[in-house]
Amino acid sequence: MLTVASLAPGALQARLAGDGLRLRTGRFAVRLQADMPSVAAGIGQLYGDYPLLQDSDFADFHLQLRRPRSARRWLRPQVRLHCDGYEMFQPMPLQHAFPMFEWGLNWCVSSRAHRYLIVHAAVLERQGRAVILPAPPGSGKSTLTAALCGKGGWRLLSDELTLLELDTGLVVPNPRPVSLKNASIDIIRAYLPDAVLSTPVHDTSKGTVAHMRAPGDAVARAADCARPAWIVFPHYSAGAATTLEPLARAATFMELAGNSFNYSVLGAAGFHALGRLIEQAAGFRFRYSALDEALDTFARLHES
């Protein structure tokens, strides 16, 4: 199967500006239209390993990034995001176009893919077993995720959305670029010098953001599901000692329910799926400040 990297830069930009580029990310097919050089550059840099689909192939989500036709096209240029013809979010500055695509695709999956229980959490796999990392913004979740898949020997399944099959309880991979913010960008540049990071975009609603390219193995193995084994709630604290403490099942259940996008939408199915997850996976609270110590802790967790 051809990948996005098989397209020359000019052909990639022409598809995006025309009928759209169709690519597969995990179990989802996406059609993207965007007549913006920054989006073409971001797709070419970060999505080169992803399967390229035919124009006639079905797409789960149709995304369009458009410039307003008003004076905003030239004066403080903006960009608008449309999904299946409906506008999403408020207009943003034009330089935020590529992060807007990433956020929009996350929104599409989290608000529509109700055949899965969806938890706001990173998830990685090692030897068939998955560790789920639910955490609010600012907790160091994505920094830890980048380190684990870049140096720790874990396969990236997702940085943002943990998808659990309702009938099997397995984690479904949805590997996409890892979203890094503010100080995390320079931390990962120094810690993973060979990692491919996009050009930082400043002054977004989340501060300065950049995205790290998902490892090629993670994209190639996007069909390989994993069984949940651990649920770890991480928290970065400057200068803190590295600690991993067991968490009671009831507390783990409640915190996961609070981090789920569609737990209440699924009703009884969501309750049973979350209950089965708690039975399968041990819960922990994790505090860290040093990435090397964090990777050692997760290696010991896997060995146990």
- Which residue range is the domain that position 286 belongs to? 116-303
Q: 131 and 245: one domain?
A: yes
What does pLDDT average to over the chain? 95
Name the domain boundary from 90, 112, 134.
Answer: 112
For residue 51, CA distances in Å to 26, 47, 67, 123 come to 10, 9, 28, 22
Assess whether 229 and 171 both reside in one domain. yes
76 and 107 fall within a common domain? yes
pLDDT at residue 210 greater than cutoff 90: yes
Do residues 84 and 154 both lie within one domain? no
Partners of residue 245 on adjacent β-strands: 285
Q: What pLDDT does 73 receive? A: 65
Tokens for 64, please give them: 């369009």
Q: What is the pLDDT of residue 97?
A: 97
* Residue 72 pLDDT: 63
- Pair 41, 71 in one domain: yes
Say what the pTM is. 0.95
Boundary (domain end) residue, out of 71, 96, 112 = 112
> For residue 113, is pLDDT > 70?
yes
* Amino acid of residue 16: L
* pLDDT of 22 strictly over 80: yes
- CA 167, distance to chain mean position in Å, is 23
If you compute the radius of gyration of the chain from its CA atoms, what whole number of angstroms results? 19
Same domain as 249, residue 129? yes
User: In Å, what is the CA distance from 61 to each residue of 200, 226, 269?
Assistant: 26, 25, 25
Name every residue whose Cβ is closer than 8 Å to that of residue 298 and which is 6 or more positions away in sequence. 131, 148, 152, 154
Domain identity same for 173 and 36: no
Do 108 and 139 reside in the same domain of the chain? no
- State how far the Cα of 101 lies from the Cα of 179, in Å rounded to an integer: 12
Structure confidence by residue, pLDDT tens digits, 172-198: 999 999 999 999 999 999 999 999 999
176 and 48 assigned to the same domain: no
Q: Is the pLDDT of residue 63 over 80?
A: yes
Contact 156, 215 (CB under 8 A): yes
Q: 């239209």: which residue's tokens?
A: 33
Question: pLDDT tens for residues 254-281?
Answer: 999 999 999 999 999 999 999 999 999 9
Are 24 and 126 members of one domain?
Answer: no
- Number of structural domains found in the chain: 2
From the centroid of its chain, how far is CA 296? 24
Q: Exposed (0-12), middle (13-18) or buried (19+): which is 2, by Cβ within 10 Å?
A: exposed
Q: What is the pLDDT of residues 68-98, one digit of tens each?
A: 776 666 677 899 999 988 888 889 999 999 9
What's the average model confidence in pLDDT over 198-204? Answer: 96
Of the candidates 41, 303, 25, the residue with the CA atom closest to the CA atom of residue 173: 25
